[in-house]
Structure 1
């Protein structure tokens, strides 16, 4: 059975999609851009944007009774591959601080991200 996951601690979807779809043993979390759900604002700094995108992912995981340790795959979309090192650092800190193993990952540069964010992160979770 498909269950839709939504958290008010992550930004609402800005299009015709949901924050996450839970299939029971797998969950697919939609790409999270770095909007602070409390303010609706987005930091300029790529490290801060990465931390916020991951915080949004974590909020959705929490709503589904999961943790970052459940993440098995991430996809990172970057507006500029020159930000790769800064994103990697914030990403590594996130998984280390949450006592989670590093998941499989893809990271690609894209032409543009919604709201002109510098980063968007989506995840696949095993439960």
Structure 2
């Protein structure tokens, strides 16, 4: 059985999808853009964009009954290679060893003209 996870502390979906879906102990978190209060953050610093994506993911993890450090997999998409280094700078603010598995992919475009999008899979040890 799947359960929908929703929180007002992360951007609401702009289409026909859920913020996250839990199946058994796994929580599949939809891609998060660097959105704050419904708008892309205006600062052009990659570190701030990475941080906002992870803040949104963290809030969804909390709504699911866990925490961001329960994330086991990150998928990161960016349009500018500078975001790869920025991500490495920001990750220790949110995770401790062992870090989640991850992939980083350069893409040509992202929804809403964002420069980064991050989705995640969380293991909910509380279920």
Cα-to-partner distance string for 1:35-55 (whole Å, 9 max, x where unaligned):
00x353423221111100000
Match of residue 28 from structure 1: 28
Match of residue 109 from structure 2: 112
Deviation at residue 74 of structure 1 after TM alignment: 0.4
Residue 18, structure 1, aligned to residue 15, structure 2: no
Aligned-partner SS, 2:35: coil
Match of residue 7 from structure 2: 7
1:11-90 aligned within 5 A: 11-36=11-36, 38=37, 40-43=39-42, 44-90=44-90
Distance 1:39 1:23 in 2: 28
Query: Higher strand share goes to which structure?
Result: 2
Divergent runs of 4+, >4 A: none
Deviation at residue 83 of structure 1 after TM alignment: 2.7
- Check whether the contact 2:50–2:83 (CA below 8 A) recurs between aligned residues: no
**What is the number of equivalent residue pairs in this alignment?**
123
Cα-to-partner distance string for 1:73-123 (whole Å, 9 max, x where unaligned):
000001112331122111232214xxx630100000011111111111100
Aligned-partner SS, 1:52: helix
Computed over aligned residues only, the root mean square deviation of the Cα atoms, in angstroms, reads 1.4
